[in-house]
Amino acid sequence: MDFTGKVAVVTGGGAGIGQATAREFAARHAAVAVVDRDAKTGQGTAAEIRGKGGTAEFFPLDISKPDQVARTIPQIVARLGGIDILVNNAGIQRYGTVTSTSEEVWDEVMNVNLKGAFLMSKHAIPEMLKRGGGAIVMTGSVQSRGALANSVAYVTSKHALLGLIRAMALDHARENIRVNCVCPGAIDTPMLRWSASLQPHPDEVLAACDRLHPVGRMGQAEEVAHVIVFLASDLASFITGESVAVDGGLLIAIGGTSFQESGTGSSKR
């Protein structure tokens, strides 16, 4: 996969999956717009890429703010020449049930995880059309397909992303714009470590995350980035409106793997 001459915009590029994705595109010769609301980490990713001989610029942006998005997309085009690829990756996690979640938290999650992807796509697609098409990849979650407890806003926002990619994929298929989604399991990023830190015994939470996956470990950000980059590439030219689980088998295991661990031989009753 070679992205020479292509411009890739990655939201949440300052940390975790977005940072790994920005690095991966740059290593494959794309010019990368690193978008993040955290200036320190966003600048850090862009500087690191430039330090390795790649092309990257940092754009400070809160994707949930319509005026900021409308202002920033033209800046990306002016500085990098256009937009071919958009990775709507930035997201936040908040915990609560439908009764314990405040309206403010509900809106915060929806505005970042869902509306942010809508706004970025809305402003980036006209720029893609000027270049004959493009590719959009969203970061959903295994919680796009199933639910974890006490995460009502997050689960709902991630399910809605599947609707968004399908609707967008259909509307823009004839314009040579493909829209897909990755659905990661637990990935070792600052977000996951923050979630674990909310519990009395974070190490036990991380160990449980490892056990949760049939492969016996949580994922690394690079393992998600590889799939994002593939979906954005010409190798995925006939894939659109699709979601790909990157979850070490998590979604195929009914009730987890503990009932009978694989590889222990046949059981007799």
Ligand X SMILES: NC(=O)c1ccc[n+]([C@@H]2O[C@H](COP(=O)([O-])OP(=O)(O)OC[C@H]3O[C@@H](n4cnc5c(N)ncnc54)[C@H](O)[C@@H]3O)[C@@H](O)[C@H]2O)c1
Binding to ligand X by residue 191, rule CB under 6 A?
A: yes
Q: Using DSSP, state whether 219 is helix, strand or coil.
A: strand
Write the CA distances from 106 to 26, 98, 114, 174, integer angstroms: 35, 9, 11, 35
Backbone angles phi, psi at 98, to 5 degrees: -65, -30
* Identity of the residue, 66 or 133, whose beta carbon is nearer to ligand X in the bound complex: 66
Query: Closer CB to ligand X, residue 141 or residue 257?
Result: 141
Shortest spacing between CB 152 and ligand X, in angstroms: 15
Does position 248 bind ligand X by CB under 6 A? no
Residue whose pair of structure tokens reads 């920005």 in the numeric block: 22
Length of the chain: 269
- The residue whose two tokens read 């979650």 is 141
Q: What positions carry a catalytic annotation?
A: 154
Q: What's the rounded Cα separation, in Å, for the pair 81 and 74?
A: 10
Interface with ligand X includes 9 (CB under 6 A)?
Answer: no
Strand partners, 151: 96
For position 112 contacting ligand X by CB under 6 A, the verdict is yes
186 binds ligand X (CB under 6 A): yes
In whole angstroms, how large is the CA radius of gyration of the chain? Answer: 19
Measured from the CB atom, the residue of 41 and 257 that comes closer to ligand X is 41
Q: Does residue number 11 form part of the binding site for ligand X (CB under 6 A)?
A: yes
- Choose the stretch contacting ligand X; rule: CB under 6 A; options: 37-45, 102-110, 120-128, 164-172: 37-45
Q: Using CB under 6 A, list all residues that contact ligand X.
A: 11-12, 14-18, 36-38, 41, 61-64, 89-92, 112, 116, 139, 141, 184, 186-187, 189-192
